[in-house]
Structure 1
Amino acid sequence: MIKSIFTIEIEMNSVSKHLFLLLFFFSSITIALAQKDTNTITVLTYNIYHGEDPANRGTSNLDEIAALILQYSPDVVAMQEVDSMTTRTAGVYGKKVDLVQELAKLTGYSGYFAKAMDYAEGGYGEGLLVKGEAIFSTQNLPIPHGGEPRAAAWAEFKLSNDKKIAIAGTHFCHEFEENRIAQVKEISKVAGQSNLPVIWAGDLNLRPDSEAYRSIIGTWKDAGSDPTPYSPTFGSLKDGPRIDYVWFDPSKFTLESYQVLDVPFSDHYPVLVTLKFK
């Protein structure tokens, strides 16, 4: 569905494209709201490749990502590789752009940017989009072996069924296993201190057979471990690695659905998970 829509868009002028997207957004919201179980929470995690189409460098991918979000209508979106007011965004958009706030405008969600590091005259890190109001915060993660600074974006918010939830979106180190193990420990520590049901998600740059994966202990459940244990999320859907995850506490939730979405807007594939409250 997504592919055919955006093939048609190529032939439209800019005004027609945005009108078409708006109509698509509102029709998608109506369908999603009609189908949604009020005792569930749906999470989308997506590495958005700093707001640029990897197959067409210099071109934005935000309209397509916004359409995807509004089609599936998740309660929360965790995003990685997010730029805020960088010269890199200026090269794509003609001016410096805060990608989270642009997506918040396009979707109607509340947005939060958690800066992991200074980059290109702006910031680089994680983003969260949440339906409704939320209390946001940033957790800085350890890098004992050095390398790029890393962070987690946290949100506490109330769902439409009045249940409260805490969620973290993060992006672990891509270079050193020692860093990833330390980052797992810190995320788990903060999550364990919450008195709310907790979900955490993101591009963890680790594979299911890694030491860092095995270091994730306690009550955490990998949403992709049972239904599709080898479903790739990066590079190729045929033989790429699985490095993007959603983790939850099985004493608080049961898994309703797990999908890796086949869309070409980044070098990663979005992971969509629906959990049901126990």
Structure 2
Amino acid sequence: MSKITKNNFGKKLAKYGALSLAIAGVADATGQVVYTDVDPDFVGGMGDSFAIDFNADGTDDIQVLQSNNGNYELVQALPAAGNGVIAASNAGYLYASNLADGTAIDGSGAFGSFGSFCAGPGYTGSQFCGTGVGLIGVQFDAAGNTHYGWVRVDIADSSNFTVLGYAFESTPDTAIAAGDEGSPLGVNEQAFANFDFFVSNEQLNLSAANAMNNVTVFSILGQQVVNQKLSGTNETVNVSALSTGIYVAKVSIDGAVKTIKFAKK
């Protein structure tokens, strides 16, 4: 799978938005799971934060940050107001739960308004201190709908953290498995030999070794916005009427389907 990437992160705040995604770096998106590989990994230290906008709607859904509360250092997951992170209470304090791969993240989760990854020495409720790569579960609101996602992190100690990637389920009120990055389904590699795509001059350009049959474009929240018949090996789709943002397109060739994601600037 190719990757969504962003380079030149700001040390104090790094975020993904529709305007900042390099088209050449967007990922294959399959089913309804939308995965972002943070490449290069974001490495944070004292006072640093990393903001995640899961669905690229311009609103940050959660931050991973390092701070000092006046008594000790800590790395924390801090959702936006109304959102939540799966956390467990220990001695009256919320600690982010380190989820096993495949754990269902849905409405049954115990979501808190924050969750500490790793607090200073002596705080035994921390589940991420020096344990290697781990996963947290997130619940967030998008356009009045509830979505679930996960964030993959590596927390060295209460002052140093790394964010490696994240994903969300774009179908509202639908569970996602922790660590699920989606996978290409129904893609016949022979049918899609030499397949390529890019956006230029308000056109989505598609090319393949074999004639394409159809393309359907969806918004990041699953709304169909384009449905166009195709017949050649080089085709264009007019996207000038689409709003700025991220879109998923499904291209078909002789019954095989390729799912791609592109940015409309």
Measured against the shorter chain, the TM-score band is: under 0.3
Question: Which of the pair is proportionally richer in helix?
Answer: 1
Question: Which of the pair is proportionally richer in strand?
Answer: 2
TM-score computed with the length of structure 2 as normaliser = 0.27
Larger Rg: 2
TM-score computed with the length of structure 1 as normaliser = 0.26
